[in-house]
């Protein structure tokens, strides 16, 4: 293994190793101090930033197009292999750099922001797991491996949304986000399996699997489903404002920077497949434009800073989607890098937004000119009201999804439940039957006791 | 055919049976007897596994009783996993679940299960099958009528099949599994009854409801061990596929579709189920149906995935049911998803164990189930491209149901009136940590177990792909 390959491997594995170390120690009863967590995070991500910069420099200097790190097969059955291969190229390295820089910054910011919070250690442990998942997505050499990182990022996102788990709101929101993630993840999972089915490989380390015609369309649309879910694109954009229940630093890195752009990365990676299918490319462009319009309209009607920023964020990601659908590569990458940095700063400053607003006003010597006022003159009164209603219900997307999928599914589930319980009352209770246990008054629980 | 160095399978049956006798007579030492009995069975199983691996997957028979017991790559892992899970359950079970009657019967079920896995004789397998079901049919683990009916139906179907095979075989040793291979004795009638036995025991639609009832109304830890024996999948792999390859080849597309339907059905049912035990039971049904679908896919990937998934489901659901039971004992009642309880504040480690085991059941990357789900989905997609797509859908719904249950029990606003609920005590922590470490370690380095199961899968897939050739071989 060359020094370049070893460095790439170390960069990807380091966050996972820290996560494993801290979690096992915690399970064994250790309570890490705030200082130990923040210092470890700071040192490790500073080193990783240097390492990624060195990788990029060496890649440019050597004239290589990419670094591939084959790690053998994770498991092999008959003629099916799960190859473990990491890839560092002009697409993955900017994302790796963005991840290590922002995770390091968020680690330092959170040292003050979450000081003495009961979940301080949990936040840092999850931050490392998230970083590991993100590094895995951005350095994976196959779609199978991308799925691994994809699920880790989704899980940490959900666990951080329910960070303040002693309130019902964040927990409800986390469950909702988890449902959207799981539903949309079916896309990338099935796409990877179909690639094996159609092209006998999902690895792109040595070139993208060749798909054409209908196969490319199916795989492209499935990847779009997952990308739209992860990047909160239409029609799944309803989860993003709910995700703002998490702590501000996690909102910044997930929904301002890394996680929300993971969908765009997936499409960039799969761009050769998308370009084989006009239908898939058109769907990507349409999704992006619709999201950009929806984000712009809804964002203007939001009453709180973080939700407003969330919609601004998904509007920009919508534009990025449209750029990817048009076949551009460099512009979307530059757009993502710039957007991620600006949005992270805005999210981190969100708790001080009023203060900043007044400072800007004072510096400008008076009130700033409002933007978008011209819309009032362009659109007739009736249309304005209609757009306003659309905006305050966030495009009716949650309502539509709920009526189309959630309500019928729950109704079917309850119906099957009733069918399953037919004849149940004829049976007798068992040794441990909760139905025959003495009932407690509503709202009162029996006092617990350790039975040892 | 080579021999095992010692009568290890007999020992793995005899030791828990002897421990059961001790447990029944001494209430105070029931847990110790249970641990000793299960540990003895586990040690024997470890040695069996080692010898099978050393023999490169060859079939090893017992030295003193050829034709009764044998070990091979298919059953060696089952033997070890089941013995270890029983030991874990006996160690961590709350005091009220370790009475002489419960522990003694659990050990008898362990002995019966080891006999069924190790049997090289269909009659012996059937006797062990019935013995393991008896505590759930006649007591002391009885629940509502449906578990009794479902299990009785599976026992009767298996005994009926054996009667037909005995009538048709007319050989000196009509029940030897080696002699039965490929002969299709009893034809469609025997094959049909064997499939009925599998459907009833595994809980395939429409015979699924007994598992829900058993989990809700029965003692949850013995029920968990019982359903995690995966006898249905084992009978399919051990008897049905080798003995009825032509019938299996014809019937499996339909059975596979039925199994996939069950996986989705149970997953849909779980979405709105409010009772925690029922939800877990539905997830077990869904995942067990995935195992059958994999076995019936007739692809080596699908069969290997199914055989690995048996282990994953057994270990992960044992962790889940254990945490649930420990929480019930602490909380004083069973759980429903009507309210948030916020118990993670009191039991953070139990919450972590629950979420890791839960997500490990539904294919979380980095856990062993990611590997088994990957193989299962590949196998079913290869054999049934249209319906195979249902498997990821079922898994996604299962994940949602699990996370919902986790949220309701462990997260949210704490309920007033909950006091003195403590986190995992040492013996609970050791067992649950071992489960989590196994799930993660096997997920990181799955090749050792995958290659072991791949040997068994290769034999099964060869029989399904070339049934006529197999008949000639025997």
Q: Based on the domain organization, do A282 and A403 belong to the same domain?
A: no
* Same structural domain, B164 and B235: yes
Contact list in B for residue A193 (CB cut-off 8 A) is 377-378, 381
The last residue of one of the domains, among B119, B145, B177, is: B119
The mean pLDDT value for A421-438 works out to 50
**Residues A199 and A210: beta-carbon distance below 8 Å:** yes
Same domain, B79 and B139: no
CB neighbours of residue A156 within 10 Å: 24
Which percentage of chain B shows pLDDT scores above 70? 97
Q: Could you tell me if A148 lies within 8 Å of chain B, comparing CB atoms? A: yes
Return the minimum-mean-pLDDT range out of A237-246, A313-322, A382-391, A440-449: A440-449
Do residue B395 and residue B380 come from a single domain?
yes
Res B174: pLDDT: 73
User: Tens digit of pLDDT for each residue in B75-101?
Assistant: 898 999 999 999 999 999 998 888 889
CB-based contact A151 B364, cutoff 8 Å:
yes
User: How far B255 CA sits from the closest chain A CA (Å)?
Assistant: 21
Residue range(s) defining the domain that contains residue B95:
1-119
**If you average pLDDT over every residue of chain B, what do you get?**
87
Residue A141 reports pLDDT greater than 80: yes
Q: Is residue A95 located within the same domain as residue A210?
A: yes
| Full domain range(s) for residue A390 | 379-414
Higher pLDDT, A99 or A420: A99
- What's the pLDDT at B324? 94
pLDDT (average), residues A413-437: 63
Whether residues A390 and A272 share a domain: the answer is no
More confident of the two residues B180 and A413: A413
Predicted confidence at residue A296, as pLDDT, reads 92
Nearest neighbour of A193 by CB, restricted to B219, B377, B457: B377
In a domain, A442, yes or no: no
* Whether pLDDT at A444 is above 90: no
Q: Give B296's pLDDT tier (boundaries 50, 70, 90).
A: confident
Asked whether residue A444 is assigned to any structural domain, the reply reads: no
Residues A316 and A395 both lie in one domain? no
Q: Please check whether residues A272 and A390 belong to one and the same domain.
A: no
User: Does a structural domain hold residue A116?
Assistant: yes
| Interatomic CA distance for residues A156 and A172, integer angstroms | 16
**Which chain B residues are within 8 Å of A74, Cβ to Cβ?**
371, 446-447
- Cβ of B25: how many Cβ atoms within 10 Å? 12
| ipTM reported for the complex, 2 dp | 0.87
User: What total number of domains does chain B contain?
Assistant: 2
Give the helix/strand (H/E) hosting B285.
helix B276-295
Q: Quick one: B43 and B149 in the same domain?
A: no
Domain boundary among B64, B91, B119: B119
B411 contact residues in A (CB cutoff 8 A): 162, 165, 171, 174
Please give, rounded to a whole number of angstroms, the shortest distance from the CA of A125 to a CA of chain B.
13
Residues B241 and B460 sit within 8 Å (Cβ to Cβ): yes
Same domain flag for B281 and B171: yes
Lowest-confidence pick of A174-178, A180-184, B35-39, B140-144: B140-144
If one compares B48 and A27, the residue with the highest pLDDT of the two is: B48
B29 falls in which pLDDT band (50, 70, 90)? Answer: confident
Same domain for A339 and A386, yes or no, is no
Q: Do A448 and B365 touch (CB under 8 A)?
A: no
B383 with B393, same domain: the answer is: yes
Condensed to tens digits (0 to 9), the pLDDT of residues B431-468 reads 999 999 899 899 888 887 887 777 778 777 777 776 65
- Position A449 scores a pLDDT of 37
Kindly tell me if the per-residue pLDDT of A143 is higher than 60.
Answer: yes
Of all residues in chain B, what percent carry a pLDDT higher than 90? 41
Instruction: Clarify whether residues A234 and A300 are in a common domain.
Output: yes
Does pLDDT of A430 surpass 80?
Answer: no
The verdict on residue A130 lying in a domain is yes
Shared domain check, A384 and A239:
no
| Residue A431 confidence class, pLDDT cut points 50, 70, 90 | very low
CA separation for the pair A91, A268 (Å, rounded): 8
The torsion angles phi and psi of A189, rounded to 5 degrees, stand at -65, -50
Residues B456, B398: one domain?
yes
> What does each C-alpha distance from B471 to B179, B182, B241 come to in angstroms?
11, 5, 12
- Give residue for tokens 């309500």: A407
Rounded Cα distance, B256 and B92, in Å: 37
pLDDT tens figures, B343-361:
888 898 899 999 999 999 9
Q: Which of B208, B269, B364 sits opposite A413 (nearest CB)?
A: B269
Q: Mean per-residue pLDDT for A395-402?
A: 91
Tell me if residue A106 falls in helix, strand or coil: helix
Q: How many CA atoms lie within 13 A of B27 on its CB side?
A: 5
pLDDT of residue A114: 94
Do residues B190 and B163 both lie within one domain? yes
- CA B102 to chain A, closest CA, distance in angstroms equals 10
Which is more confident, B51 or B295?
A: B51
Tens digits of per-residue pLDDT, A198-217?
888 889 988 888 898 899 99
Per-residue pLDDT reduced to its tens digit, B366-419: 888 989 988 888 888 877 776 677 888 999 999 999 999 999 999 988 776 777
The 10s digit of each residue's pLDDT in B226-258 is: 888 888 888 988 888 888 888 888 888 888 888
Is A76 a residue whose pLDDT tops 60? yes
Q: Judge whether A430 lies within some domain.
A: no
Comparison of pLDDT for A414 and B460, the residue scoring more = A414
> Is residue A425 domain-resident?
no
Q: Which of B80, B99, B119 is the last residue of a domain?
A: B119
List phi, psi (to 5°) of A277. Answer: -130, 115
Q: What is the pLDDT of residue A424?
A: 66
Structure tokens at B381: 């997609």
Share of chain A above pLDDT 90, in %: 67
Q: Are residues A192 and A292 part of one domain? A: yes
Partners of A184 on chain B (C-beta within 8 Å) are none
What's the number of domains chain A is made of? Answer: 2
Tens of pLDDT, residue by residue over B358-381, are 999 988 888 889 899 888 888 888
Q: How, if at all, do strands B60-61 and B2-3 pair?
A: parallel
- In this structure, the answer to whether residues B125 and B47 fall within a common structural domain is no
Name residue, tokens 């898939």. A280
Q: Taking all residues of chain A, what is their mean pLDDT, rounded to a whole number?
A: 89
Torsion angle (degrees, nearest 10) of CA B321, B324, B328, B330: 120
Q: Answer yes or no: do A171 and B400 touch at CB < 8 A.
A: no
User: Helix (H, G, I), strand (E, B), or coil: what is residue B361?
Assistant: helix
- Residue A152 domain-assigned? yes
pLDDT digit string, tens, across residues A174-189: 999 999 999 999 999 9
User: Alpha-carbon distance B383 to B376, whole Å?
Assistant: 11
Identify whether residues A60 and A113 lie together within a single domain: yes
- Averaged pLDDT, A319-337: 96
Same domain as B131, residue B7: no
Residue A332 lies in a domain: yes
- Does A321 share its domain with A386? no
Disruptive mutation site among B95, B97, B144, B363 for chain A (greatest number of A CBs within 10 Å) = B144
Which residues on B lie below 8 Å from A416 (Cβ)?
Answer: 265, 268-269
Q: Of A300, A330, A349, which residue is a domain's last?
A: A349
* Residue positions counted in chain A: 452
Give DSSP secondary structure letters for B297-340: T-SHHHHHHHHHHHHHHHHHHHHHHHHHHHHHHHHTS--BTTS-
């Amino acid at each position: 293994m060359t020094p370049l390959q070893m460095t790439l491997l170390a960069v990807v594995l380091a966050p996972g190793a820290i996560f494993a170390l801290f979690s096992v120690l915690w399970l064994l009863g250790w309570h890490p101090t705030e200082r130990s967590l923040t210092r470890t995070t700071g040192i490790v991500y500073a080193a990783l930033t240097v390492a990624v910069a060195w990788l990029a420099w060496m890649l440019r200097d050597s004239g290589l197009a990419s670094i591939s790190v084959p790690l053998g097969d994770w498991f092999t059955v008959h003629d099916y292999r799960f190859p473990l291969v990491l890839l560092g190229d002009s697409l993955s390295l900017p994302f790796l750099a963005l991840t290590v820089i922002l995770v390091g910054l968020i680690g330092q910011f959170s040292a003050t922001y979450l000081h003495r919070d009961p979940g301080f250690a949990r936040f840092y442990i999850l931050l490392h797991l998230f970083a590991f998942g993100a590094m895995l997505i951005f350095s994976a050499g196959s779609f199978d491996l991308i799925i691994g990182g994809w699920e880790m990022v989704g899980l940490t996102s959900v666990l951080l949304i329910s960070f303040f788990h002693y309130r019902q709101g964040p927990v409800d929101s986390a469950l909702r986000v988890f449902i959207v993630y799981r539903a949309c993840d079916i896309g990338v999972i099935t796409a990877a399996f179909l690639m094996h089915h159609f092209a006998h490989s999902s690895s792109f380390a040595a070139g993208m699997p060749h798909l054409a015609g209908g196969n490319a369309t199916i795989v492209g649309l499935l990847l779009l489903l997952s990308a739209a879910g992860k990047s909160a694109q239409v029609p799944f954009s309803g989860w993003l404002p709910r995700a703002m229940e998490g702590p501000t630093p996690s909102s910044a890195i997930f929904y301002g920077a890394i996680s929300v752009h993971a969908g765009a990365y997936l499409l960039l990676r799969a761009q050769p497949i998308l370009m084989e299918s006009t239908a898939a490319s058109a769907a990507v462009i349409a999704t992006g434009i619709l999201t950009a319009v929806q984000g712009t309209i809804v964002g203007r009607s939001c009453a709180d800073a973080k939700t407003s920023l969330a919609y601004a964020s998904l509007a920009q990601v919508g534009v990025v989607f449209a750029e990817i659908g048009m076949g551009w590569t460099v512009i979307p990458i530059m757009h993502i890098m710039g957007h991620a940095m600006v949005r992270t700063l805005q999210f981190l400053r969100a708790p001080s937004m009023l203060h900043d607003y007044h400072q800007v006003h004072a510096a400008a010597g008076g009130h700033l000119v409002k933007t978008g006022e011209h819309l009032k003159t362009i659109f007739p009164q009736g249309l304005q009201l209609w757009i306003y209603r659309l905006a305050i219900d966030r495009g009716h997307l949650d309502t539509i999804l709920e009526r189309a999928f959630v309500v019928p599914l729950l109704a079917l589930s309850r119906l099957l439940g009733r069918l399953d319980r037919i004849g149940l009352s004829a049976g007798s209770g068992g040794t441990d039957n909760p139905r025959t246990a003495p009932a407690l008054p509503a709202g009162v629980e029996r006092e617990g006791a350790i039975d040892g | 055919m080579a021999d095992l160095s010692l009568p290890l399978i007999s020992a793995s049956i005899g030791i828990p049976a002897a421990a059961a006798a001790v447990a029944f007579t001494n209430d105070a030492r029931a847990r110790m007897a249970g641990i000793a009995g299960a540990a003895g069975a586990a040690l024997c199983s470890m040695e069996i596994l080692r010898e099978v691996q050393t023999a490169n997957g060859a079939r090893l028979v017992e030295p003193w009783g050829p034709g009764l017991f044998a070990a091979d790559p298919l059953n060696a892992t089952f033997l070890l996993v089941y013995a270890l899970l029983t030991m874990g359950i006996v160690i961590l079970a709350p005091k009220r679940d370790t009475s002489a009657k419960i522990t003694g019967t659990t050990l008898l079920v362990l002995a019966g299960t080891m006999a069924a896995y190790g049997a090289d004789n269909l009659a012996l397998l059937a006797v062990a099958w019935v013995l393991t079901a008896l505590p759930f049919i006649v007591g002391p683990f009885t629940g509502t009528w449906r578990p009794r009916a479902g299990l009785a139906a599976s026992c009767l179907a298996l005994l009926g099949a054996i009667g037909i095979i005995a009538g048709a075989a007319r050989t000196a040793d009509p029940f030897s599994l080696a002699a039965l291979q490929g002969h299709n004795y009893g034809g469609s009638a025997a094959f049909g009854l064997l499939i009925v036995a599998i459907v009833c025991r595994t809980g395939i639609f429409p015979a699924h409801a007994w598992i829900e009832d058993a989990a809700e109304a029965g003692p949850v830890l013995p029920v968990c061990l019982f359903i995690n024996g995966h006898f249905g999948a084992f009978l399919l792999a051990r008897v049905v596929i080798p003995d009825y390859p032509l019938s299996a080849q014809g019937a499996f597309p339909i059975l596979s579709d039925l199994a996939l339907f069950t996986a989705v059905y149970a997953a849909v049912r779980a979405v709105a189920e409010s009772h925690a035990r029922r939800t877990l039971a539905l997830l077990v049904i869904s995942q067990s149906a995935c195992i059958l679908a994999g076995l019936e896919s007739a692809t080596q990937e699908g069969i290997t995935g199914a055989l690995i998934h048996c282990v994953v489901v057994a270990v992960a659901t044992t962790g889940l049911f254990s945490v649930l039971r420990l929480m019930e004992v602490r909380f004083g009642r069973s759980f429903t998803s009507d309210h948030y309880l916020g118990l993670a504040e009191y039991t953070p480690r139990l919450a972590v164990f629950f979420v890791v085991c839960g997500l490990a059941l539904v294919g979380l990357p980095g856990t062993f189930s990611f590997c088994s789900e990957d193989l299962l989905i590949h196998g079913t997609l290869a054999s049934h491209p249209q319906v195979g797509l249902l498997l990821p859908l079922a898994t996604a719904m299962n994940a949602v149901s699990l996370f919902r249950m986790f949220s309701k029990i462990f997260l949210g606003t704490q309920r007033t009136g909950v006091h003195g609920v403590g986190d995992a005590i040492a013996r609970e922590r050791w067992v649950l940590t071992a489960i989590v470490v196994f799930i993660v370690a096997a997920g990181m380095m799955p090749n050792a177990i995958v290659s072991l199961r791949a040997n068994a899968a290769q034999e099964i897939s060869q029989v399904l792909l070339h049934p006529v050739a197999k008949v000639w071989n025997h």
